[in-house]
A and B are shown apart, each in its own frame.
Chain A
Amino acid sequence: NAGVTQTPKFQVLKTGQSMTLQCAQDMNHEYMSWYRQDPGMGLRLIHYSVGAGITDQGEVPNGYNVSRSTTEDFPLRLLSAAPSQTSVYFCASSLDSNSYNEQFFGPGTRLTVL
């Protein structure tokens, strides 16, 4: 199993540009989530999904969209990038929402918005 994969590893955007961060898992996990990690802030939940077709907002959802058309994929879309979205983004998955605490994290995407 490849586990949780994320692409790209690094990205530089200009203010106002849009992009999609890709996340995929091959463990047949139902629960997937997106976090951002900023210095001194800890990991913060952006959006999460308890299964295909179901998504919900986390702690810091503004400026981000998600969709879950398949069990495997959970892309994160930045609609109009802002410098405040400069961060490291992690995708995570777990078997289901009951045991989602045992999350498997991807390697992260480091995003810089100029």
Chain B
Amino acid sequence: EDQVTQSPEALRLQEGESSSLNCSYTVSGLRGLFWYRQDPGKGPEFLFTLYSAGEEKEKERLKATLTKKESFLHITAPKPEDSATYLCAVQALGNEKLTFGTGTRLTIIP
């Protein structure tokens, strides 16, 4: 059974303090790993898809990386508007279903 574990559950950073969020996964053949951002009271918003180990993608202050067992979402010099819950999900080969983790709630303090 596909599993996704995200850590930490919550993270508080000062504005400008860089850090990383972790997504560990177990899947029988990875088709893709996805990162989403979710603001309170809203639906998730797609950020990245990673397909193979060693792949990296960037968007503004965010960079996602992938290994065979985990993915990291690096946030560089974060701003208060980066505060949100970040969700990780995986899709197995031959499977149309996404398995989501429970998310990391990120708070950036001005």
Interface: B96 (CB within 8 A): yes
Tell me if A106 and B43 are in contact (CB < 8 A): yes
Chain A residues whose CB sits within 8 angstroms of the CB of B43 once the complex forms: 4, 90, 92, 105-108
Give the A-B contact count at a CB cut-off of 8 A: 49
Interface residues contributed by chain A, number (CB under 8 Å)? 23
> Which of B14-22, B53-61, B66-74, B99-107 makes up part of the contact surface?
B99-107
Interface size class, chain B? 20 to 34
| Bound complex: CA A108 to CA B96 (Å) | 22
Interface: B75 (CB within 8 A): no
Residues 85-98 of chain B, each 1 if its beta carbon lies under 8 Å from chain A, else 0: 00101010000111
Tell me if B91 and A90 are in contact (CB < 8 A): no
Interface: B41 (CB within 8 A): yes
Tell me if B34 and A101 are in contact (CB < 8 A): yes
Q: Which of A86-108 contact B (CB under 8 A)?
A: 90, 92, 97, 100-108
Interface: A19 (CB within 8 A): no
Binding site for A on B (CB under 8 A): 4, 32, 34, 41-46, 49, 87, 89, 91, 96-103
